């Protein structure tokens, strides 16, 4: 059983104090660094459409939420709207964190009961964000002076955006290959360019996004400057291709997975999926995406 207490130390800025969730000693000892997870009461600063399908949610958040890293996520208690009453929380990747002004941000596709509820939020409303949750990206030691590839499609753009910032801050060159159905649905390109990434856009409408073309694009990018780490999110086809190319070229990498979730904190096993025991192995191990991930080694991940 988890107990919930109020930690006044986590109060900051405009947001009220987070309710810290103490974890059992087994959970703590399974992790290299101490875990802090809280129900963070956040205030909505803005919640605007960025295109016909996606909204950008900006929250004032308590201090603990501001420790979130790229690849981690929050489990959002989406409000009811019209006939929708989302029972479970919905997982959303961290899109941006700005500790200096107590801000966390999400980019989400409005598609079901949960995100329709999120879409109703307006400035001044409150939202409970459980987190930060999961294991984020781990940039390798070769990042300074290295070349980081981000390969994202759909909601994967939201997940990989903070990784671009982390890699650039660590001294890497970043190439972001962003894939979408149409130019109108492309997001984050300017945001990533402003961060210093070299952005390459491919779309279905322009017939530049099929796997064969993206593979040759990545091989060209690698030929210009060897890629030292590759990450992907948002497409099974791109994941399979990147696994193959990265394996051939000897590039280490990671993938951020999406999976239906219940608790989000490792307790219900709703998010279990098979992984290779290690890269190249035919033996499978079963892991919880919420707790052991959602970021996993590129070559240990099985496609779906």
Ligand X SMILES: Cc1cc2nc3c(=O)[nH]c(=O)nc-3n(C[C@H](O)[C@H](O)[C@H](O)COP(=O)(O)OP(=O)(O)OC[C@H]3O[C@@H](n4cnc5c(N)ncnc54)[C@H](O)[C@@H]3O)c2cc1C
Q: What is the DSSP string of 102-165?
A: TEEEEEEE--SHHHHHHHT--TT-EEEEEEEESB-----GGGTT-EEEEEEETTHHHHHHHHHH
Contacts of 145 (CB under 8 A, 6+ apart): 171, 172
Of 70, 65, 68, which Cα lies nearest the Cα of 172?
70
Partner in contact with 91, chosen from ligand FES, ligand X, none, beta carbon below 5 to 8 Å by kind: ligand X
The verdict on 131 binding ligand X (CB under 6 A) reads no
8 in a known ligand binding site: no
Shortest distance (Å) from residue 195 CB to ligand X: 17
Binder of ligand X out of 41, 91, 131, 234 (CB under 6 A): 91
Residue number, 43 or 73, with CB nearest to ligand X: 73
CA distance 215 to 115: 33
Q: Whose structure tokens read 């779309």?
A: 203
* Residue 181 parent element (H or E): none
C-alpha pair distances (Å), 43 with each of 84, 181, 249: 22, 33, 46
Residue number, 36 or 115, with CB nearest to ligand X: 115
The verdict on 259 binding ligand X (CB under 6 A) reads yes
x/- contact string, 236-275, with ligand FES (CB under 6 A)?
Answer: -------------------------xxxx-xxxxxx----
91 strand-pairing partners: 75
Judged by CB under 6 A, the chain residues 152 through 211 that form the site for ligand FES are none
Contacts of 5 (CB under 8 A, 6+ apart): 19, 20, 22
The verdict on 261 binding ligand X (CB under 6 A) reads yes
Judged by CB under 6 A, the chain residues 135 through 164 that form the site for ligand X are 155, 158-159
Partner in contact with 270, chosen from ligand FES, ligand X, none, beta carbon below 5 to 8 Å by kind: ligand FES
Binder of ligand X out of 70, 93, 175, 301 (CB under 6 A): 93
Residue number, 218 or 255, with CB nearest to ligand X: 255
CA distance 17 to 5: 11
Shortest distance (Å) from residue 73 CB to ligand X: 4
Residue number, 41 or 86, with CB nearest to ligand X: 86
Shortest distance (Å) from residue 90 CB to ligand X: 4
> Considering only 86-94, 164-172, 177-185, 204-212, which stretch makes contact with ligand X by CB under 6 A?
86-94
CA distance 91 to 77: 9
- β-strands 54-60, 103-109 pairing: antiparallel
288 strand-pairing partners: 272
Asked if 257 and 301 count as a contact pair (C-beta separation under 8 A), the reply is: yes
The verdict on 188 binding ligand X (CB under 6 A) reads no
The verdict on 116 binding ligand FES (CB under 6 A) reads no
Query: Annotated binding residues for FAD, as ranges?
Result: 90-93, 114-115
Interface residue list for ligand FES (CB under 6 A): 261-264, 266-271, 288, 290-291
Interface residue list for ligand X (CB under 6 A): 73, 86, 90-93, 106-109, 111-115, 155, 158-159, 258-261, 294
């Amino acid at each position: 059983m988890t107990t919930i207490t109020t930690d006044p130390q986590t109060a900051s800025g405009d947001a009220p104090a987070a309710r810290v969730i103490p974890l059992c000693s087994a959970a703590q000892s399974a992790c290299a660094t101490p875990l802090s997870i809280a129900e963070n009461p956040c205030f909505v600063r803005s919640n605007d459409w960025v295109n016909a399908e996606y909204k950008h949610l900006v929250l004032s958040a308590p201090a603990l939420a501001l420790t979130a890293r790229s690849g981690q996520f929050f489990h959002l208690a989406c409000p009811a709207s019209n006939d929708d009453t989302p029972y479970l929380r919905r997982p959303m990747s961290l899109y941006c964190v700005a500790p200096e002004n107590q801000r966390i941000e999400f980019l989400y596709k409005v598609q079901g009961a949960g995100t329709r509820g999120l879409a109703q939020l307006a400035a001044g409303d409150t939202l409970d964000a459980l987190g930060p949750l999961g294991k984020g990206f781990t940039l390798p030691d070769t990042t300074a002076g290295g070349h980081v590839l981000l390969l994202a499609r759909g909601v994967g753009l939201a997940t990989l955006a903070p990784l671009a910032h982390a890699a650039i801050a660590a001294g890497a060159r970043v190439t972001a290959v962003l894939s979408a159905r149409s130019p109108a649905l492309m997001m984050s390109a300017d945001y990533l360019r402003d961060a210093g990434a070299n952005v390459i856009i491919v779309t279905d409408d322009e017939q530049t996004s099929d796997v064969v073309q993206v593979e040759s694009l990545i091989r060209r990018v690698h030929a210009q400057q060897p890629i030292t780490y590759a990450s992907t999110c948002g497409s099974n086809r791109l994941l399979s291709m990147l696994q193959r190319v990265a394996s051939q070229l000897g590039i280490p990498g990671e993938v951020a997975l999406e999976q239906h979730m219940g608790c989000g904190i490792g307790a219900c096993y709703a998010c279990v999926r098979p992984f290779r025991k290690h890269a190249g192995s035919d033996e499978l191990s079963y892991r919880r995406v919420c707790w052991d991930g959602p970021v996993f080694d590129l070559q240990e991940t099985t496609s779906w």
